[in-house]
Structure 1
Amino acid sequence: MVNLAIFDYGAGNIFSLKNSLEKAGATVDVITNFDKPNIYSGLLLPGVGNFDPAIKSISKSKTNFHEYVKDNTPVLGICLGMEMFFEKSEEGNEKGLGVIEGDVIVLPQSMKVPHMGWNNLEIKKSGKILEGVKNESWVYFVHSYRVNPINCDAITAESDYGIKVPAVIEQDNFFGTQFHPEKSGNVGKIMIQNFLNVCKK
């Protein structure tokens, strides 16, 4: 059994994510700080909320986020959760977690923001989260910002909105999706199961 934690920023309903993980066979705790010992096989940063309040919620813990996950706890960041991996965001003034070099920028004015809806994935390279996912698979997005990594090797899939938007990233023990796998049907289920498989190792 895979024992996972979802970090709750206090910003919204994370029931659908918890439900998706439990349906995939995981046991799931919802945590609001990192003050207790890390007993988990993996950690999820969900895609609900705003950048500054979410970062402040994480940084109020007695234990530092980096110390908590170190280099061996797989972390899946969804939408905002992935954006928090980076050094800063145009959505706020707080410093990001800085586990991936780069920043987060607003989607161009030529697009309707927030961008909501189904878009297909252009898979650039193989990745643990994408195992078994076919190129051009459709997933569900709700976002106003996009990540801008310095090292493009971290990007394993993009979506094309007229501009290329990083959709999946993998670097070390950090995995991110700009879309919501818990709302992305069977394709999302594959990715959630893939993350569980990473956590089992």
Structure 2
Amino acid sequence: MKLSIVNYGAGNIKSIQFAFKRLGVDAVLTDNPEEIMASDKVIFPGVGEAGSAMKMLKESGLDQLIPTLKQPVLGICLGMQLMCKYTEEGNTKGLGIFDVNVKRFSNKVKVPQMGWNTISNLKSDLFKGIKDNEYMYLVHSYYAENCVESIATSDYELEYASALENDNFYGVQFHPEKSGSKGSKILQNFLDL
């Protein structure tokens, strides 16, 4: 299986590569459009700030490529948020793959949300073998609003979409690569799609 991780300068790549290596797959970090298009599966990672991340995607033309991909694509954390219509972070227009906006948590709660939280209302093959209210690891100050494309929700100040799905595109707000055996199971499910 050919697995590509989209390289656009967004950090946290090593832990994703290690997580897939444990599952027996070598993930290639690349910004080459041909290589990405020829992959069986694509990971769109992200740690950082939405505005500067989007700027890097545009400079490389990857902002045009990603929405046209036909194979399963998994956005993780900021990757998922950039796949949405718009994010309040840096007043940034996203890729529009998911028809939902990303907002900032209010100052009524500790921001960023950092640590373990449960995911529930699971509605996808991505969560095969995962029970409702399983704990996943999160670090984020912004959230995707709950919407029709939501395939999992979490509660932090309010109920938000902790995972999204639209056709061949999937997004998770949490970090499966840092969420132990259950996170590994989700990554394996993605490989099995």
- TM-score higher than 0.5 here? yes
Q: Using the alignment, how far apart are the partners of 1:36 and 1:94 within structure 2?
A: 27
Report the CA distance between 1:68 and its aligned residue: 5.3
Equivalent position of 2:182 in the other structure: 187
Q: Are 2:163 and 1:168 equivalent residues in the alignment?
A: yes
Superposed, 1:116-155 pairs within 5 Å as 116-122=114-120, 124-148=121-145, 152-155=147-150
Q: Using the alignment, how far apart are the partners of 1:58 and 1:66 within structure 2?
A: 9
Q: Using the alignment, how far apart are the partners of 1:23 and 1:37 within structure 2?
A: 22
Mean CA deviation greater in 4-13 or 162-171: 4-13
Alpha-carbon deviations, 1:149-189, whole Å to 9, x = none?
A: 6xx22111111124102111111111111110000001101
Mean CA deviation greater in 96-105 or 10-19: 10-19
State, as a whole percentage, how many aligned pairs show the same letter: 38
Superposed, 1:8-27 pairs within 5 Å as 8-27=7-26
TM-score, normalised by the number of residues in structure 1:
0.88
Superposed, 1:71-90 pairs within 5 Å as 72-90=70-88
Preserved contact between residue 102 and residue 142 of structure 2 (Cα < 8 Å): yes
1:126 maps to a residue whose letter is K
Equivalent position of 1:48 in the other structure: 47
Alpha-carbon deviations, 1:60-115, whole Å to 9, x = none?
A: 235x5454563522110111000011111111133210111121100121111111
Q: Using the alignment, how far apart are the partners of 1:174 and 1:55 within structure 2?
A: 18
Q: CA RMSD in A?
A: 1.9
Q: Using the alignment, how far apart are the partners of 1:47 and 1:61 within structure 2?
A: 16
Equivalent position of 1:98 in the other structure: 96
Q: Using the alignment, how far apart are the partners of 1:50 and 1:95 within structure 2?
A: 13
Q: Are 2:54 and 1:59 equivalent residues in the alignment?
A: no
TM-score, normalised by the number of residues in structure 2:
0.91
Preserved contact between residue 98 and residue 164 of structure 2 (Cα < 8 Å): no
Report the CA distance between 1:47 and its aligned residue: 2.8
1:136 maps to a residue whose letter is N
Could you say if the C-alpha distance between residues 39 and 71 of structure 1 is closer, same or farther in structure 2, counting changes exceeding 3 Å?
closer
Q: Using the alignment, how far apart are the partners of 1:87 and 1:126 within structure 2?
A: 22
Paired positions, count: 193
Q: Tell me, which stretches of 5 or more residues in structure 2 are unaligned? A: none
Equivalent position of 2:151 in the other structure: 156
Could you say if the C-alpha distance between residues 135 and 66 of structure 1 is closer, same or farther in structure 2, counting changes exceeding 3 Å?
same
Q: Tell me, which stretches of 5 or more residues in structure 1 are unaligned? A: none
Preserved contact between residue 141 and residue 180 of structure 1 (Cα < 8 Å): yes
Could you say if the C-alpha distance between residues 185 and 108 of structure 1 is closer, same or farther in structure 2, counting changes exceeding 3 Å?
same
